[in-house]
Structure formats: C-alpha cells, structure tokens
Amino acid sequence: MPGEPTPHDVVVIGGGPGGYAAALYGAAAGLDVALIEKDKVGGTCLHRGCVPAKEFLETAAVWRTTAGASDFGISTGVPGMDFAVSQARKASVVDTMFKGLSGLLKGRKVTLLSGTGRLRPDRVVEVVDGEDAGTLLQGGAVILATGSVPRTLPSLEVDGRLVVTSDEFLDLSSLPSSAAVVGGGAIGCEFASMLSDLGVEVTIVEGLGTILAGCDADVTNAVARSFKKRKITMITSAKVTGHRPQDGGTSTKLEIEGQEPIEVEMVVVSVGRRPLTEGLLADETGVNIDQGGFVVADGMMRSSAEGVYAVGDVVAGTPQLAHVGFAEAIVAIKDILGEPATPVDYSRVPWAIYCHPEVAFAGLTEAQALEQGFEVMIKKDPFGGNSRARIIGETEGMVKVIAEKSADGSGGRILGVHMVGPWVTEQLGAGYLAVNWEATASEVAEFIQPHPSLSETFGETMLALAGRGLHVG
Ligand SMILES: Cc1cc2nc3c(=O)[nH]c(=O)nc-3n(C[C@H](O)[C@H](O)[C@H](O)COP(=O)(O)OP(=O)(O)OC[C@H]3O[C@@H](n4cnc5c(N)ncnc54)[C@H](O)[C@@H]3O)c2cc1C
C-alpha cells in the first residue's frame, strides 16, 4: 500500500528537453527535484528526433562531400552506403549523450523515478507503472513535460514497414529504393533531403500549397528549386486517401485524390505531432486541456491549477522545438523560485531546418510583416557572391533581412532574418540577436564579419539596409 507522498520542491513528469531542463535548472538553483520518466531521459529529441535525425543528415552531407570530391581533385570513386554502420554511429552518438545527461541529473542529485507519472489533485503525483510503480510524490510545484508523439492519418495505418512515422524511420536498418514523404514541413523536408542524398527516389506529398509553409516565401522557393534540381518530386495541395500494398508487400501504391497513385517501397508519414496527455491527469486536478489535448499555460508556464506548470511540446499554441522547451523550463523554474522571469516570445524564437540547403530564421516573414501593417525595407544577398561559399562549393541560397523603414528611408528596426544556404543553422545566432535585441540595421552594420566567411553575407545585407552596401545595392 502506498504510504504518505514523499515531498519534493518540484516534481517533473517527463524527461525530454522540457522536463530535464526544468530538473537541471531547478537543481542548479538548489531545489529538491524529482523527475519521472517512463522511457529514457532525453525524450523525443535525443532518442527519436533532433539528434538521430541530424546524425543521418550528417551522413548525407558526408556522402555529398565524397561524391563531389573530384571537383577538388580528390579521387574517391563512387561512394557506397552501408546504412547499418550509419545506424550504429547514430546509436553511439545518442548513447553517449544519454549517458552524459543521466550523469548530469545524478550529479545534480535529481531523484529519477522510472514509470508513468499521473497527476492527482493538490500536486500529488503517482507513478502508475514501471520500476517505481506505486510511488507517491508531493510537489511544492509540479511541471508537466510529457511531450508529443507522431500524428498519423486515418487513411495510412502505420505498420512499421511499408508505412512508418519518424519513430520507425529513425530505426531503419536499410533504406528503401523509393519513398513518399507525406508532409512537407520541417521534418518531412529533412527526411526527403537525406533520403535523396543517399540515392533514394523521393516524392514529397504536401496538403498545403507549398513545402515549408511557415517559412518566408523566398526561402521556400530556394529550397523547392534545390529539391527540384536534385530530382525530388513535390506534389502540393494534395490529399492522401490511402494506400494499396503491392507485390506481396514489398511496395505500396499511395493514393492521392484526383491523381495517379504513386508506387513506392515506403511511405514516411510526417504530418505533425500530437501532445501526450492521455491518462496524465486524474479527475479534478483543475488542469485545463484544450480540444487538441494540449495543456493550456500562461506566459509563466502556469497551468490553470495552482502550482502546476507545463513546458515543451505538450503546451498549447507554442512551437514544438526542443530549445523552446529549454526556455520555457527556465521561465517555469524562475517563477517557482519567485524570481522575475520574461515569458518566451514565440514570435521571435530561432528556427533551424537541417535539410540541404539548410534553413534558419527568426522573426517575421515578409508576408507577416506586411500583414501586421509594417512599412518594410528588404535586402537579400545571395551566397553566390560570397567567397567562402565559392570555396566550399555551396553557393545556393541567400540571407534576407526584413527591417522597418525608418524616416530617412533606410532600414530601421530589424523584424526578421531569414537564411537559406550553407551552414545557416550555425549562422543564425547574429540574426536571432538582432531581431530579439530590436537592433536597427545601422547598429548591426557597425559590426565586422571575418573574411572570408559565410557570415559576411549577413553583414553585407545589413550594410545595404543601412543605406550603402559594399557588394549589395
Ligand atoms: C524527427 C524529429 C526531428 C526533430 N528535430 C528537431 C530539431 O532539429 N530541433 C528542435 O528544436 N526540435 C526538433 N524536434 C522536436 C523536438 O524533438 C521536440 O520539440 C522536443 O523533444 C520536445 O521536448 P519535450 O520535453 O516537450 O517532449 P519529449 O521530447 O517528447 O519528451 C517527453 C518525455 O516524457 C516522457 N513521458 C510522457 N508521458 C509521461 C508520463 N506520463 N510519465 C512519465 N514520462 C512520460 C516520454 O517518454 C518522453 O521521454 C524534432 C522532432 C522529431 C520527431
């Protein structure tokens, strides 16, 4: 029989980026934290998301570099692929990070419990299964960080072989020769790009009118142009209605309304993620859940129940990004500590998409800025004119900056920075700072960029916005 609940300053349910960041940050502030995880700490991000996906995209980058080595006078022959080796490397990267994270939590004296956490009224949490089943905890505060799982389509039943989600896809031991990626958002485009680089014939089927619908139109067009050049077929404004397995189950025909079906060896469903809140709340916890199953939280990440917070993918109306979970966890812990905290400004968080060419942005797109009534000034500088881009042989893409027009006609406050091209996920930092610092173009233009570097394209765009560019008009 469970006894009295064990008291902790904070009880966190879910050990993904949102949950483990809350545990680590809370423990760093001296709080006594318990963290309940039903699978492995690290969550989707480490085991089924960001890290494994980017590891495979790096495999694709190594392939591209090897395939293009002769341009530099280096002979390598046609690259071959042993996907099992790539899988093993991915597993080793993930495992090293997992051990590091587990060690960090232990080092900070976070009490780690194994099992499924369920919130009862008055911040009591019960572990309902797993190794620690039956344990009761009393949180001074409770943080819900149970994350999300892949959404599926009723017409496409996931069987882990012909039809997979990102979960199964990242565990494949070999690659198909052809694949349809259903959903052309960030994850779908990353998968399509990686598969195509590794020699798979890829079709993206997207319901909306464009791939990467949330990005600035110039960025979307640049990626679409590049995909087309690499023979990735993109079918947009398309509705998938089902699939019919063929040839004893080695391939399937994907049915699309109003179109000929396409035969592929694998369908990768990438149509977003739903929150994981089933069974999380006992009756009368007072936590408000919206119609989609997300937890409703305010700027301080407080749910509608006193002392119960929510962070990460499970929170309603926020971008499902690991670093957003980190930021929210910090806000929640500061609020628990009674310290002033700044709510996360979701309209200005950094976005990074690791397809080839890469995409990174922060702030408003051109369309959003115009919709919001800003009088804008826009400058774009293509990487084609950047010497480092020429040196590395990656000249696709550009930097586009959207600024508010100031009285003298030059670019004032920077509203959005959008990048597509080589290593832009690593270059966004300066753009993110500019947008969030509410810097003006002339302020940023004062800063020197090293030469030759890819970041000169960002600097050049700012100079041009400030009134006079060196290379950009
Ligand atoms: C293929 C893919 C690629 C991605 N790439 C990126 C990227 O490049 N950059 C980026 O920022 N984001 C990326 N994401 C999104 C990112 O993974 C998520 O935003 C992030 O993992 C969310 O963190 P979280 O802590 O909210 O939830 P999760 O990471 O989902 O973690 C939730 C944890 O809670 C546990 N849990 C759930 N319910 C309970 C319960 N009742 N009791 C105990 N434990 C429970 C789960 O087992 C899980 O470990 C990607 C996602 C996918 C699928």
Helices (H), 108-216: 166-169, 186-197
Residues 6+ apart with CB under 8 A from 469: 379, 381, 460, 461, 463
Top mutation candidate among 46, 146, 268, 353 for ligand 1, by most atoms within 8 Å of CB? 146
The residue from 323, 418, 451, 471 that is catalytic is: 451
Q: Is 356 a catalytic residue?
A: no
Alpha-carbon gap, residue 301 to 326, rounded angstroms: 12
Q: What single-letter DSSP state applies at residue 292? A: T
Nearest CA to ligand 1 atom 27: 147
Q: Is 128 helix (H, G, I), strand (E, B) or coil?
A: coil
Mean pLDDT split into 10-residue runs, the chain, 473 residues: 86 98 98 98 98 97 95 92 94 98 98 98 98 98 98 94 96 95 98 97 98 97 98 97 91 95 97 97 98 98 98 98 98 98 98 98 98 97 97 97 93 97 98 98 96 98 92 72
The residue whose CA is least distant from atom 48 of ligand 1 is 43
Pick the residue whose CA is nearest to atom 53 on ligand 1: 49
DSSP 295: B
Buried residues in 394-418 as b, exposed as e (16+ CB within 10 A): bbbbbbbbbbbbbeeebbbbbbbbb
| Ligand 1 atom nearest residue 354's Cα | 8
> pTM of this prediction?
0.97
Distance 257 CA to ligand 1 centre (A): 33
5 closest CA partner among 131, 140, 143: 140
Under a CB-based contact definition with an 8 Å cutoff, are residues 142 and 8 in contact? no
Residue pointed to by tokens 């699939």: 243
Ligand 1 atom nearest to 314, measured from its CA: 26
Residue 28 pairs in a beta bridge with none
Rounded to the nearest angstrom, the distance between the alpha carbon of 16 and the centre of ligand 1 is 5
Task: Yes or no: say if 382 and 221 are a contact pair by the CB < 8 Å rule.
Answer: no
Taking the centre of ligand 1 as the mean of its atom positions, its distance from the CA of residue 313, in whole angstroms, is: 7
- Ligand 1 pocket: which of 11, 25, 36, 50 to mutate (most atoms <8 Å of CB)? 50
The 251-256 sheet, strands edge to edge: 240-246, 251-256, 262-264
Whole-angstrom Cα distance, residue 28 to residue 30? 5
Question: CB under 6 Å to ligand 1: residues?
Answer: 13-19, 36-39, 43-45, 48-50, 53, 116-117, 145-148, 166, 187, 276, 280, 312-314, 320-323, 325
Residues counted in the chain = 473
What is the whole-number distance in angstroms between the Cα of residue 7 and the centre of ligand 1?
A: 27
The burial class, CB within 10 Å (0-12 / 13-18 / 19+), for 430 is middle
Distance CA 129, CA 113 (A): 11
- Take atom 21 of ligand 1 and give the residue whose Cα is closest: 45
Supply the residue whose CA is at minimum distance from atom 5 of ligand 1.
Answer: 50
In this prediction, residue 470 carries a pLDDT of: 86
| First vs last C-alpha separation in the chain | 75
Closest CA to 16 of 143, 134, 121: 143
Nearest CA to ligand 1 atom 15: 321
Rounded CA separation 468/471 (Å): 9
Q: Which atom of ligand 1 is nearest the CA belonging to 353? A: 8
Element (H, E) at 411: strand 411-421
| Nearest atom of ligand 1 to the alpha carbon of 36 | 43
Which tokens belong to 123? Answer: 């911040």
pLDDT value of position 2: 59
Q: What is the pLDDT of residue 247?
A: 80
Which atom of ligand 1 lies at the shortest distance from residue 169's CA?
1
Q: Cα separation of 264 and 154, whole Å?
A: 19
Which residues, listed in sequence order, are joined to residue 419 by a DSSP beta bridge?
360, 399
